[in-house]
Amino acid sequence: MAEEKRDETDAAVAEGATVDQPDADVTAETEPQDPAAPDEAPEHSEVERLAGELAAAREEARRLEDQFLRQAAETENYRKRVAREKQDAVRYANESLVRDLLPVIDDLERAVEHGRAGGNGQSLLDGIELVLRTCLEALQKHGVTQVTAKGEPFDPEKHEAFAQVETAEHDANTVVDEVHRGYYMGDRLLRPSLVSVARTPASEAGNTVENDPADD
């Protein structure tokens, strides 16, 4: 039997038949690789990088928007505060002046009450002079001073002529009287002095013309 089996095997080899080998001798076949597989990793990395940059750009845009909104709100609050302070400054600009004039009103009220009580009038005059002096002192504290006029040469920059007075006691164009006094606030003229100005009497002016050397 063994010889018959060997003869059959030899015959099969001779005829080109394939002889099955044990499983241990069979070489394992390697699975074919996907041609696209090597490119998947770089492409995935690029997508992640772009996604990260987009997220960072969005975060920066949000931060800048918040910063802009805060600055806009602060600017608006500052504008409102400045406008309010300006209104208060205009509304209460004379507060200190009025406060300093209140004692003047007190003195005037006392002078009026004293005048109503009778007397020779001298005490009332003294009271009025005190009130006037107090009032001028209060104005001086705020930079208000009187314009010098009486006895001075007429100056159109600070005097306003109310009338002309013919007189030989004063030089022509000299202020001889004041209807009301002018006032400065600092260097600014609040109002000019309303004054009367001297002029040469007509008789003297005629004599001057008669004796004018130009007529000889």
Domains of the chain (ranges plus CATH)? 145-210 (2.30.22.10)
Q: Which residues of 162-171 are buried (b: 16+ CB within 10 A; e: fewer)?
A: eeeeeeeeee
Question: What is the per-residue pLDDT for 99?
Answer: 86
Instruction: Say whether 139 sits in a helix, a strand or coil.
Output: helix
Question: What is the per-residue pLDDT for 103?
Answer: 86
Residue by residue, pLDDT tens for the chain (216 residues) are 545 555 555 555 455 544 455 454 444 454 555 554 555 567 778 888 888 899 999 999 999 999 999 999 999 999 999 998 888 887 777 888 888 888 888 888 887 777 777 666 777 788 888 888 888 898 898 889 999 899 999 999 999 999 999 988 889 999 999 999 999 998 999 999 999 999 988 776 555 444 443 444
Residue 9 and residue 17 in contact, taking contact as beta carbons nearer than 8 Å: no
Bridge partners of 183, per DSSP, are: 146, 191
Nearest 5°: the CA angle 196, 156, 137 is 75
Question: What is the per-residue pLDDT for 149?
Answer: 92
Instruction: Say whether 179 sits in a helix, a strand or coil.
Output: strand
